[in-house]
């Protein structure tokens, strides 16, 4: 299969992750179908991708004509069958909830091409948790992109217990062909590589907060200035979404039984209050809506 220009990608879920993954592939010349059950969400994805790429044009990093061509390579649809049935690679990027992902993979098994790669963008769940035998486990894997996908270079390619070597080779080639750097996780483990390490570091930050050792602001400043992180753990949480952070930790806790992964009480309270970070204008910090002049 020729990946560049010839392969067709379907992305299921048009949230920030799915929308930007689709656009990154389109920037590299692939035809992409971006599917979501919500037409409003698809329109938000289209507007957001245009705005992000227009900033590159304004900075002289992207040609305006190429911007239009890349946007045009992403087709939007609410029809899952239409999006996935002709795709060489189908990437699930829906909410980080086990049942939602299982439902998607169950449907994909019925109408995806026999040789299509079925992949999940989950940050914590191995693909073996999401599929049935009908999905042909040998063609399934994780392709874990990092937020924001239009900026972040890394993709974790995770081999499931029954994933074939051919599938992994194709997945790695796909990641490279869309201008990203793959790392291979040879066997499933909750959290994979990056999040497993990141969770331990950020969990300690939450423990410091919950125990009253230091404030959100001072912990962030200490990590940014002392460890040279571009964002402290709380600013990073606001950027990625506190609901995503909470769900990932809860899944790790339930999967491993390790109390070190149990979500922070203050994190749980933020999620329960609907204060999810930048996307709700309130998280650990406040983000007033900018008024355009």
What pLDDT shows up at residue 252? 83
What pLDDT shows up at residue 115? 94
3-class SS letters over 35-74: ECCCHHHHHHHHHHHHHHHHHHHHCCCCCHHHHHHHHHCE
pLDDT tens string 110-151:
999 999 999 999 988 999 999 988 889 999 999 999 989 999
Q: Which is higher by pLDDT, 33 or 256?
A: 33
What pLDDT shows up at residue 196? 87
Which domains are present in the chain?
Answer: 8-185 (3.40.50.720), 195-280 (1.10.1040.10)
- CA 21 to chain centroid: 8
Tell whether the model's pLDDT for residue 46 goes beyond 90.
yes
* Catalytic positions, written as ranges: 123, 144, 156, 195
Q: What is this structure's pTM? A: 0.85
CA pair distance 31, 61, nearest whole angstrom: 22
Joined tokens for residue 221:
């400043």
- Do the Cβ atoms of 219 and 233 come closer than 8 Å? yes
Phi, psi of 141 (to 5 degrees): -160, 175
Task: State how beta strands 140-145 and 154-159 pair.
Answer: antiparallel
CA pair distance 164, 159, nearest whole angstrom: 8
CA pair distance 77, 182, nearest whole angstrom: 28
Residue 271 CB coordination number (10 Å): 20
In sequence order, the 6+-apart residues with CB closer than 8 A to the CB of 37 are 78
pLDDT category of residue 6 using cuts at 50, 70 and 90:
low
Q: Which of 110, 118, 24, 23 is nearest to 74 (CA)?
A: 23
What pLDDT shows up at residue 168? 98
Mean pLDDT of 240-267: 90
What pLDDT shows up at residue 261? 87
41-63 in b/e burial notation, b at 16+ Cβ within 10 A?
bbebbbebbeeebeebeeeeebe
Tell whether the model's pLDDT for residue 2 goes beyond 70.
no
User: What residue has token string 């200490």?
Assistant: 222
């Amino acid at each position: 299969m020729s990946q560049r220009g010839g392969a067709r990608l379907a992305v299921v879920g048009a949230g920030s992750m799915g929308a930007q993954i689709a656009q990154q592939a389109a920037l590299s010349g692939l035809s992409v179908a971006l599917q979501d059950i919500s037409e409003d969400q698809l329109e938000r994805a289209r507007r957001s991708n245009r705005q992000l790429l227009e900033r590159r044009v304004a900075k002289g990093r992207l040609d305006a004509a190429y911007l239009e061509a890349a946007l045009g390579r992403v087709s939007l649809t609410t029809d899952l069958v239409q999006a996935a049935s002709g795709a060489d690679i189908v990437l699930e990027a829906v909410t980080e909830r086990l049942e939602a992902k299982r439902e998607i993979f169950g449907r994909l098994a019925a109408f995806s091409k026999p040789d299509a790669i079925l992949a999940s963008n989950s940050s914590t769940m191995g693909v073996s948790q999401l599929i049935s035998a009908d999905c042909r486990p040998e063609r399934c894997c994780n392709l874990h992109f990092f937020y924001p996908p239009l900026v972040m270079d890394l993709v974790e390619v995770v081999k499931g217990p029954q994933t074939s070597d051919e599938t992994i080779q194709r997945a790695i080639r796909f990641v490279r062909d869309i201008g990203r750097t793959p790392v291979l996780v040879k066997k499933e483990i909750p959290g994979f590589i990056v999040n497993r390490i990141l969770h331990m570091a950020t969990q300690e930050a939450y423990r410091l907060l919950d125990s009253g050792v230091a404030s959100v602001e001072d912990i962030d400043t200490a990590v940014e200035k002392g460890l040279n992180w571009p964002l402290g753990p709380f600013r990073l949480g606001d950027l990625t979404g506190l609901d995503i952070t909470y769900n990932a930790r809860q899944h790790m806790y339930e999967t491993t039984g390790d109390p070190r992964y149990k979500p922070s009480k203050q994190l749980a309270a933020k999620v329960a209050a609907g204060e999810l970070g930048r996307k709700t204008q309130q998280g650990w910090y406040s983000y007033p809506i900018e008024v355009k002049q």
